[in-house]
Amino acid sequence: DAGVIQSPRHEVTEMGQEVTLRCKPISGHNSLFWYRQTMMRGLELLIYFNNNVPIDDSGMPEDRFSAKMPNASFSTLKIQPSEPRDSAVYFCASSLRQGQGIEAFFGQGTRLTVV
C-alpha cells in the first residue's frame, strides 16, 4: 500500500487566497484525521471523520477552515481566506476504524506558507 498520500507537499500562497489541501487515506481505512503542526502549538487535531461523516470538528480554529470527505478515498481541507498565521504543516492520517487504541497512519504532510 502506498500509505496516506497528501498533496501538495509544499504550498506558498498570498494572504487572502483560498488554499485546498488534499488527502487520500489508506484503502480500507474508514477514519480520517486532519492535524496542524506548529512550533507554538505542537500537533493539534482539527477534525476527524468516521465513514466519511465529520464526527468532531471542535479543533477547527475558525470558520475560514472547512473540511470535506466526499468519499472513502478522498478528503480536502480548505482555508478561505488564508492568513499568515495559518502557516504550518498540515497532516492527514487514517486508521482502520475509529475507537480506543486504534493507531493512525500519517501522510508526509503539506507545508503551507501564507505570505
Partner 1 sequence: AQSVTQPDIHITVSEGASLELRCNYSYGATPYLFWYVQSPGQGLQLLLKYFSGDTLVQGIKGFEAEFKRSQSSFNLRKPSVHWSDAAEYFCANNDYKLSFGAGTTVTVRA
- Contacts with partner 1 by CB under 8 A lie at 4, 33, 42-43, 45, 48, 56, 91, 93, 95, 98-109
Can you tell me the distance from the alpha carbon of 13 to that of 114, in angstroms, rounded to the nearest whole number? 5
Q: Which three cell numbers stand for residue 74?
A: 478522498
CB of 51 to partner 1, least distance (A): 14
Q: Tell me which amino acid residue 88 is.
A: A
Q: Which is nearer to partner 1, 70 or 99 (CB)?
A: 99
Q: Which three cell numbers stand for residue 99?
A: 475507537
Q: Which is nearer to partner 1, 42 or 70 (CB)?
A: 42
CB of 101 to partner 1, least distance (A): 4
Q: Which is nearer to partner 1, 59 or 81 (CB)?
A: 59
Sequence-ordered list of residues with C-beta below 8 angstroms from that of 2, at least 6 positions apart, any chain: none
CB of 80 to partner 1, least distance (A): 25
Which residues are paired to 95 by β-bridges?
A: 31
